[in-house]
Every structure is written in structure tokens, then in C-alpha cells.
């Protein structure tokens, strides 16, 4: 059978566009269907815009709180919310243009419109402009991503009750933002508003923030946030939202048998994200999905229908841009009967709070639960020269070591540049490096990264700073 394309990708987010480009580089005739901007959530409504705004907020916070200590003087420091938005859009547009240029240079056909799968080799393309068409492909890759998930809460349709997409587009800031949810999305926005001087209250549904993160990291961040004036209400599952006579929003939650409330100007519903499959399947066609709507796949990202693959946020598992990209590459390689070039077992996770949190591999609790005999090495950033120079809050680097197999299996970092340093430790875990190999590297001074050496040495009790501490 002759097909229009070798591969047809539905969705041009970090999973879809990376997969399409790699497929084209490997000789596949490839097209991508996207009904919004290329780059998906990550580039347009997630990773990139939030980090642009966080960078601005951190500089503002630094100017307000630390300049005098550093010997700098600045008067009338203020922020311009509209200019912050403009700068964010400039960054996004530049990166979006880069993706579109890659499509052109690698020969990927970019189709602007919506794709609906009719059968295992046919997609109906509804064009935003021009003619619709039924396209055929040897392989179809679903990369439609996710959308903000909103819990069915009474009052969620009130003015100023918003999701993360809407908050990113706001041209003015709330004086008091209530963040309903204490996961990654909620904590990053809480940090953004706090750094810009707003009052912030976090409603955590459990007895801790960041429930999927190493417990010590979560506890340390909670202490830092409280020190900065952020209020955290634990075990506060949002039940309803009402409007006060003054026009503010009141969030109600149960504390045992008693209803309690928090009042603010805006409410961010940060309950995570859900797979986006609206309009994806035509009449009489479907693939297996779980109870949450996520598309089920095997280890090669094949769905229940041969020839149809799915990757990224639309399948079960972690919802991270870099994971979607890696999955896309591995899926394409499987289509071409190639061995996967990326190890998908070790996933670095980054949270852009202040300080940053990054983890990879197993936590100590996870390793013990797997029956591993582990040893942990830890370095406090309080003794790190670069941290002191940059006036960083308390942080640490923790390594989880498999004693019996003599290899690193996990790392958790909470410090400045953690999201950059995690790369080295992911490399070490993937390549099963032992203590001797890890310790053989000279890490430059003064850097945040030299604390990795201290953590490695601490595995054998050889840390210089630890030795000094013991002598006191």
C-alpha cells in the first residue's frame, strides 16, 4: 500500500516536534498536525513562559531584599506587569520560530489544523485555512499532550478563579493569591507571586507540600516559604468558593468536622493536568485508555491498535517535556526497528522554586522499598562558597548509593542551579558509575557543583566539611 506519509504526528509539543524532526532526519517522510502554536504547552503555556516570569521575579526580589547587603543601591524599584508579559512573549516567539525553522530545514511538513484518527492508517485533517483532507500514513503518533485539570468545585466559574494558562496571561497581579494545590505548578506560581511582593496562601490537600518529592526537600522548602511570608494550610481540600460582599473570593475547606476558609483576591486551581484527547478519534475508532482518559501503550509506545503510537502527557506516567521528547525519539526508533538510543528508566525531575529542586533515579525510601542495601551521602550548601556569595537559602545535595551493586541509584538536590547540576548525576546513574569513578572527577571551585564531591566523599565519611564539624 502506498501512503501519503511514513509518519503523521498529531501535536507539535516537545514530544511531537522532536519525534517528527528525528523521523525526518532518519529518512521518514513526516508531517505534523497542530491546531495551535508549535511548541505545545511547554513552550507556549508552561515551562518557558513560567521560567521567564520567574527569572524576572527573582531579580526583583534580589533588588528589594539583597541589594543593600551586596553594596548596591537602587531607588524606586518596581515592576511592570505588562512589560513582564511582553518579555515572556518575546522569549516564547523566538523559540517558537526556532522550531518552525527546524521543520523547514529537516523537511517536516507542518499542517495547521486538527487531526482526527479514522483508522490505523488514516487521519482526517481539518485545516484552519484551506482545504480539509484525509491523509494516510504508515505510522501515526499521538502527541496531543494535556490540559489543566479543574476539580468539580462549586464556585469555580466565579471571576478571578483561574487555571495556570490564564494566570500566565494576566497583565496585573493579585494582591493575595490563593493557590489550591501544592504540587509543582502550584509551588512555582506561589514562588513567583511571593517574589513580586504579593501575599500568598497555599492550600495543600495533604499534610505536606510536593507529595511526590523527597520528603526532606519538601520540608525544607516549606520552612523557607514560611520564612518568606507564605502561608501554608495543610489537609485543606477545597470544597467550594464563594464571593464576599467586598468582591473577594473565599475558599472553604473542611478541618475535621468544621468548615474553615481563606480569603483572597484570586484563586489558582493547580490540581494538575489531564490527558487531552478531545476530537482525536473518529466514529468507530478508539484505542485503549485508562479511567483518567490516558492512552495505554506498551514499552515501545504502541497503542492497542498496531501502527498507532502515543507519547508524552497523553499517556500514563510523568508529565515532563523532556520525557515526552525522549519517548518520541524512542517511538520513532522502534518504528524503524532500531534499538532505543535513550535510557527511559532514569528521569530527572526539576522544580523551579527558590531554591531549585531537582531529583533523578530513586529516593532513599524508594530504594529501600525495592530491597536495595543503600547508603546516603549528603553535603550541606551552608558550607558552599558560591552559595554564601549568592546569599542562597539553606540547601543540600543528597546521593543514594547501592552498596551491593556499587553504583549510584538516586540523587536529590535542593540548591541554586540544581536543575543544571542534575545532568551530571543522571549520567552517573545511567552508566552505573561507582564511588571511585564519581570521586575521580575534579569539580571546579568555587561552584555550586563542587558540593557533589562533598556528597560523594560523605558516603565514606571523608567529607572535609563533615570532618571539620566533627572536630568542633
Structure confidence at residue 461 as a pLDDT band (50, 70, 90) = confident
Residue 35 is predicted with a pLDDT of 95
Strands (E), 131-248: 133-142, 146-148, 161-162, 176-180, 199-203, 231-233, 238-243
Structure confidence at residue 464 as a pLDDT band (50, 70, 90) = low
Please give the average per-residue pLDDT across 406-431, as a whole number.
Answer: 97
Report the interhelical angle of 464-471 vs 451-458 (nearest 10°).
70
Structure confidence at residue 472 as a pLDDT band (50, 70, 90) = very low
Residue 152 is predicted with a pLDDT of 85
Residue 186 is predicted with a pLDDT of 96
Statement: residue 471 has pLDDT above 60: no
Out of 65, 300, 373, 445, the active site residue is 445
Least Cα distance to 147 among 50, 54, 40, 49 occurs for: 40
Residue of 171 and 334 predicted with greater confidence: 334
* Percent over 70 (pLDDT), the chain: 97
Q: What is the pLDDT of residues 366-406, one digit of tens each?
A: 999 999 999 999 999 998 999 999 999 989 999 999 999 99
Strands (E), 65-144: 109-119, 122-127, 133-142
Alpha helices, H only, 196-296: 215-227
Residue 463 is predicted with a pLDDT of 61
d(CA 44, CA 88): 10
Structure confidence at residue 255 as a pLDDT band (50, 70, 90) = confident
Instruction: Collect all residues with Cβ–Cβ distance below 8 Å to 238 and sequence separation of at least 6.
Output: 151, 153, 180, 203, 205, 251, 252, 253
Structure confidence at residue 453 as a pLDDT band (50, 70, 90) = very high
Please give the average per-residue pLDDT across 28-52, as a whole number.
Answer: 96
445 is catalytic: yes
Residue 3 is predicted with a pLDDT of 86
Radius of gyration of the chain (CA): 24
Instruction: Collect all residues with Cβ–Cβ distance below 8 Å to 434 and sequence separation of at least 6.
Output: 406, 407, 408
Please give the average per-residue pLDDT across 279-291, as a whole number.
Answer: 96
Least Cα distance to 295 among 320, 321, 313 occurs for: 313
C-alpha cell of residue 293: 482518559
Residue 254 is predicted with a pLDDT of 87
Q: What share of residues in the chain are helix, strand, coil (percent, to 5)?
A: 35, 25, 40
Residue 243 is predicted with a pLDDT of 96
DSSP 450: G
Residue 467 is predicted with a pLDDT of 45
Q: What is the pLDDT of residues 103-151, one digit of tens each?
A: 999 999 999 999 999 999 999 999 999 899 999 999 999 999 999 987 7
Residue 330 is predicted with a pLDDT of 98
Structure confidence at residue 1 as a pLDDT band (50, 70, 90) = low
Instruction: Collect all residues with Cβ–Cβ distance below 8 Å to 28 and sequence separation of at least 6.
Output: 5, 6, 7, 332, 335, 336
Q: What is the pLDDT of residues 154-211, one digit of tens each?
A: 999 999 999 999 999 988 999 999 999 999 999 999 999 999 999 999 999 999 999 9
d(CA 140, CA 148): 25
Residue 426 is predicted with a pLDDT of 98
Mean pLDDT of the chain: 94
C-alpha cell of residue 322: 523532556
Statement: residue 470 has pLDDT above 60: no
Amino acid at each position: 500500500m502506498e501512503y501519503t506519509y511514513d509518519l503523521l504526528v498529531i501535536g507539535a509539543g516537545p514530544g511531537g516536534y522532536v519525534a517528527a524532526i528525528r523521523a525526518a532526519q532518519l529518512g521518514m517522510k513526516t508531517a505534523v498536525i497542530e491546531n495551535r502554536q508549535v511548541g505545545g504547552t511547554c513552550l507556549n503555556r508552561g515551562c518557558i513562559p513560567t521560567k521567564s516570569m520567574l527569572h524576572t521575579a527573582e531579580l526583583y526580589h534580589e533588588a528589594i531584599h539583597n541589594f543593600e547587603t551586596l553594596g548596591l543601591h537602587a531607588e524606586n524599584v518596581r515592576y511592570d506587569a505588562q512589560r513582564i508579559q511582553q518579555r515572556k512573549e518575546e522569549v516564547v516567539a523566538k523559540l517558537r520560530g526556532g522550531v518552525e525553522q527546524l521543520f523547514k530545514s529537516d523537511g517536516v511538513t507542518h499542517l495547521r489544523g486538527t487531526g482526527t484518527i479514522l483508522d490505523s492508517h488514516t487521519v482526517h485533517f481539518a485545516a484552519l485555512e484551506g482545504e480539509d483532507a484525509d491523509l494516510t500514513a504508515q505510522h501515526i503518533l499521538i502527541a496531543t499532550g494535556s490540559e489543566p485539570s479543574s476539580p468539580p468545585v462549586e464556585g469555580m466559574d466565579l471571576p478571578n478563579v483561574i487555571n495556570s494558562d490564564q494566570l500566565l496571561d494576566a497583565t496585573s497581579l493579585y494582591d493575595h493569591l490563593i493557590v489550591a494545590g501544592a504540587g509543582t505548578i502550584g509551588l512555582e506560581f506561589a514562588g513567583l507571586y511571593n517574589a513580586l511582593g504579593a501575599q500568598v496562601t497555599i492550600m495543600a490537600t495533604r499534610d505536606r507540600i510536593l507529595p511526590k518529592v523527597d520528603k526532606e526537600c519538601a520540608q525544607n522548602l516549606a520552612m523557607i516559604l514560611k520564612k518568606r511570608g507564605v502561608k501554608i494550610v495543610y489537609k485543606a481540600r477545597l470544597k467550594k468558593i464563594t464571593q464576599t460582599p467586598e468582591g473577594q473570593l473565599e475558599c472553604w475547606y473542611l478541618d475535621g468536622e468544621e468548615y474553615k476558609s481563606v480569603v483572597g483576591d484570586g484563586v489558582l486551581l493547580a490540581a494538575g493536568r489531564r490527558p487531552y484527547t478531545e476530537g482525536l478519534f473518529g466514529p468507530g475508532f478508539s484505542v485503549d485508555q485508562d479511567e483518567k482518559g490516558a492512552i495505554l501503550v506498551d514499552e515501545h509506545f504502541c497503542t492497542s491498535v498496531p501502527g498507532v503510537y502515543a507519547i508524552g502527557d497523553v499517556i500514563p506516567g510523568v508529565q515532563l517535556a523532556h520525557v515526552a521528547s525522549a519517548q518520541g525519539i524512542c517511538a520513532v526508533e522502534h518504528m524503524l526497528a532500531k534499538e532505543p538510543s535513550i535510557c527511559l528508566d532514569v528521569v530527572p525531575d526539576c522544580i523551579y522554586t527558590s531554591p531549585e529542586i531537582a531529583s533523578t533515579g530513586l529516593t532513599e525510601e524508594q530504594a529501600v522499598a525495592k530491597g536495595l542495601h543503600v547508603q546516603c551521602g549528603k553535603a550541606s550548601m551552608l558550607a558552599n562558597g558560591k552559595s554564601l556569595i549568592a546569599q542562597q537559602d539553606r540547601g543540600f545535595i543528597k546521593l543514594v548509593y547501592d552498596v551491593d551493586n556499587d553504583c549510584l541509584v538516586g540523587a536529590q538536590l535542593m540548591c541554586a542551579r540544581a536543575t543544571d547540576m542534575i545532568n551530571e548525576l543522571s549520567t552517573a546513574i545511567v552508566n552505573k558509575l561507582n564511588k571511585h569513578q564519581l570521586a575521580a572527577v575534579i569539580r571546579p571551585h568555587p561552584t555550586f557543583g563542587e558540593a557533589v564531591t562533598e556528597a560523594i566523599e560523605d558516603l565514606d565519611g571523608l567529607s572535609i566539611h563533615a570532618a571539620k564539624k566533627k572536630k568542633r
